[in-house]
Structure 1
Amino acid sequence: MRDTSDLTTAVARFADRLRAAPHSRLQRGAAAEGLALARELAVRAQRAEDPGREPRTMPDAGVFAVADQLVVAGNDLAEALRTAPAGSREGELDEAVGLVREAAGRSGL
């Protein structure tokens, strides 16, 4: 089993910043950045769990829900990677952590 704490920690930090951000900041792009990341993480989790199935798109539940959506998607991906057979998802954990950090940087939070 892999240690996915780097991913869950990075996701939690970004989600906390989204939750603390003023509405105006969320509307200026921070929420869109968070949603795009949540959608990407959700697709990666779905592909890891069921590679033969077409991934579903996470809906836009609004600027105040995006932090929760991000946490759910990040935790789903962490669990999928943690339980994946050794070597089957090589490098995906580091890549996902990088995506979270990049999105947080672009969000301006």
Structure 2
Amino acid sequence: MLDTTELTAATERLADRLRAAPQSRLQRGAAAEGLALARDLALRAQRLEAPDAPPRTMPDAGVFAVADQLVVACNDLAEILRRGTAPAGTPLQRELDEAVAAVRRTAATATL
């Protein structure tokens, strides 16, 4: 069982920054960056949970919903990683490390 605390904590910090950002900043790109990360995390979760299923794209629910979408996608991925439900041979620690790196990259470069 993996400890996904680092992933969820980093995502929560980024989501809090998105929630606190003014609408103008969200519209200038911060929300798009957050949505791109949420979609990436959701796709990672989908590949682990149902690798043969066609990928589904997280919808754009608007600039004020992106922080919540990000947290939901992160929590889905974290749960899959904690349970260890992935195709045999999937390096779950690498999946976790890559997800944490993606969150950190977005947090470092986001226009917040």
Instruction: Please provide the CA RMSD for this pair.
Output: 1.4
Separation (CA, whole Å) in 1 of partners of 2:17 and 2:78: 20
Corresponding residue number in structure 2 for 1:72: 72
Partner SS, residue 61 of structure 2: coil
Moved more, 85-94 or 33-42: 85-94
Residue 16 of structure 1, CA deviation: 0.3
Judge conservation of contact 1:48–1:84 (CA < 8 Å) in 2.
no
Residue 87 of structure 1, CA deviation: 6.0
Judge conservation of contact 2:2–2:93 (CA < 8 Å) in 1.
no
Structure 1 gaps of 5+ residues are none
Q: Which runs of at least 4 in structure 1 moved beyond 6 Å after TM superposition? A: none
Partner SS, residue 24 of structure 1: helix
Separation (CA, whole Å) in 1 of partners of 2:45 and 2:58: 12
Identity level (%): 71
Corresponding residue number in structure 1 for 2:99: 96
Structure 2 gaps of 5+ residues are none
Corresponding residue number in structure 1 for 2:23: 23
How far does the alpha carbon of each residue in 1:16-48 deviate from its partner, in whole angstroms, 9 at most, with x for none?
000000001101111000000000000000111
Corresponding residue number in structure 2 for 1:33: 33
Partner SS, residue 95 of structure 1: helix
Please tell me the residue identity of whatever aligns with 1:104: A
Corresponding residue number in structure 1 for 2:111: 108
Compute the TM-score of the two structures, normalised by the length of structure 1.
Answer: 0.94
Judge conservation of contact 1:33–1:106 (CA < 8 Å) in 2.
no
Residues matched between the structures, number: 109
How far does the alpha carbon of each residue in 1:51-88 deviate from its partner, in whole angstroms, 9 at most, with x for none?
11111000000000000000000000111111125962
Separation (CA, whole Å) in 1 of partners of 2:105 and 2:58: 20
